[in-house]
Structures are given as C-alpha cells and as structure tokens.
Chain A
Amino acid sequence: MTIISQSYGKVILFSLLSIVPLLLISNSVLSFGQSNATNSIAITSSNQTNTTSADNPNNEIIKSIDTGILMIKSGDNDGAKKSLYQAEASLEDQPNQSGAEKHIEASLKALKDGDTSGALTHAEEAKKGLA
C-alpha cells in the first residue's frame, strides 16, 4: 500500500517534469517552421493575381475570404475569423465546394493556434478552389 501511494506521488512529479521540456522543444520547432512558412507566403502573395471574375457565382464568398486575408495581414484575427466564418456559412449548401470549405476550416484552426502563415496559406487555397 505504501509503495502504491508513493507511486502516485512520483507519477504526478514525473508528469510535471516531463511536460516542460516537451513543450519547450515543440514550441521552438514550430517557431522555426512558422518563420520558413512566412517567407514562402510573402513570395506567393507578391505573385498573387486577382482571381475574381465577373461571371463567377462565388464572387461574394471570394470577397469574404479576401477580407479575411487582409484582416489576418493587418493583425485583426477576430475580424478575419468573422469574414472566414461568413465565407464558410455561404458554402454550407454547396457540397461540391467541400475542398474550399475544408481549407477555410483549416485557416480558422490556424488562426486559433496563432499560426498566421498557416491561416493565410489555407485562405489562399480556399480562394483558388472557388476561382
């Protein structure tokens, strides 16, 4: 019985000791990946062309995504989330656009994670899917 109660104490101690280095390692790895991704986003953004055309039925959705992208770039993550949710709501009854919808969801998750470059990448992909 004494051994078991000692075990509980040690398990809790090791729980605390093991999470700290893992969190530190994962954060540094992600930061490295994030900075690399940011560079690639900057390149793609500079080469970006206007994907909206007058006869595209998805123009309103693309506009919402564009607004979201601008807001992400300006650092307004809450505003960006609203625009992306609006775009997703517009896609709700369009099962043939599930690819774009998945990219919008991914963009929202990236925003929630604080991964701006990931959010931009997926928002751009969603736009491409609708163009």
Chain B
Amino acid sequence: MTKNLLIIYALCGIMAITGILYFLVAYGEYTDWMELLNFGIHDETTEKQVEITLFIVSGLIYFGLVLWLLKTRFIKRLPYIVTILVSIALISTYIASRTVGVPIVGVELYVGKLDLISKIMQISVIALSIVAMYRINRLVYSFTK
C-alpha cells in the first residue's frame, strides 16, 4: 500500500470515528435532558434540543463526507476542502461555546473527555485533508497503477 493511500484511509477512518463520537455526545445530551425533565427542570429544553440536533447533523455530515470521498475515489479536491471547512467551523463553534458563548446555548463551562477526543480527531482530519490535497496527483497515479 502506498503512503498516499494510507493517508486517505486514515482520514476516512478518523472521520467515521468523529461521526460516531458526535452521535455519542448527542446521546449524552439526550440522557441529560431526560434527567433534567425528571427533576422538573424545563428551561434547558430548547438548549438541549439545539445541541442534540447540532451533534446529530455534525455526525451525519462526517459520514456523508466519507461517502463523498469514496464516491469520488479520493481524487477530487472539493471533498477535502469541504471537510477542512466543516472541521474548522465545528472547532470554532466549540471554542466559542467555551469562551464567548453561542446563541441559545450560551457559555458552557465543562470540557469533557469526548469533547477533547473529538477535537483531536478534527485537527487530525484537517491535517490529513491538507496533506491528501497536496498529494492528490500522486494519488491518481496510485489508483490507476
């Protein structure tokens, strides 16, 4: 296996794991929401619904991007660019939620284990996407060889 293909497969694997992590975070938020309702706390409902939706959509986007990369056989630049932009947007949203606050949710004060792991994954996704884009011509050669 060439180094280029190794990078691509690692990228797709990490993106799939990031998607799964987002689903796990969404499930965590759902259980939190149910516990809050059990204690008669209703003012968090909108916040939790927004968070759960955002995390599910983010997870689906990562799986969609993996499928797009597979469909284009890793040789088009656009899926990599979209992957980088999506990852940057999600990391920026996360940083904003822990510092200046985001609409509806406000400022969150805790940085969880899953949060840290997913941010490490997303930084890896950005790095690997940039490397893959620079090596795209050699990648075409790897597939046609």
Interface residues in chain A, defined as those with a beta carbon under 8 Å from any beta carbon in chain B: 3-4, 7-8, 10-19, 22-23, 26-27, 29-30, 81, 85-86, 88-89, 92, 98, 102-103, 105-110, 112-113, 115, 118, 122
Contact = CB atoms under 8 A, between A and B. Distances in A.
A38 to B, nearest CB: 16
Contacts of A18: 10, 13-14, 17
Interface residues of B, number: 34
A85 B10 contact: no
A102 B106 contact: yes
Interface of B: 1, 5, 9-10, 12-14, 16-17, 28, 32, 35-36, 39-44, 66, 70, 73, 106-110, 112-113, 116-117, 120-121, 143
**Secondary structure of the B contact surface, majority rule:** helix
Contacts, number: 95
B9 A89 contact: no
Contact of B66 (A11, A16, A109): A11
Given A11-B9, A22-B121, A30-B116, A106 B36 contact: no
A59 to B, nearest CB: 20
Contact of A26 (B32, B43, B120): B120
A122 B70 contact: no
Nearest to B5: A10
A85 B73 CA distance: 50
Given A22-B121, A26-B120, A108-B32, A89 B17 contact: no
B28 A102 contact: no
B43 A92 contact: yes
11 contacts: A11-B12, A11-B66, A11-B70, A14-B9, A17-B13, A18-B10, A19-B17, A26-B120, A89-B39, A105-B109, A106-B109
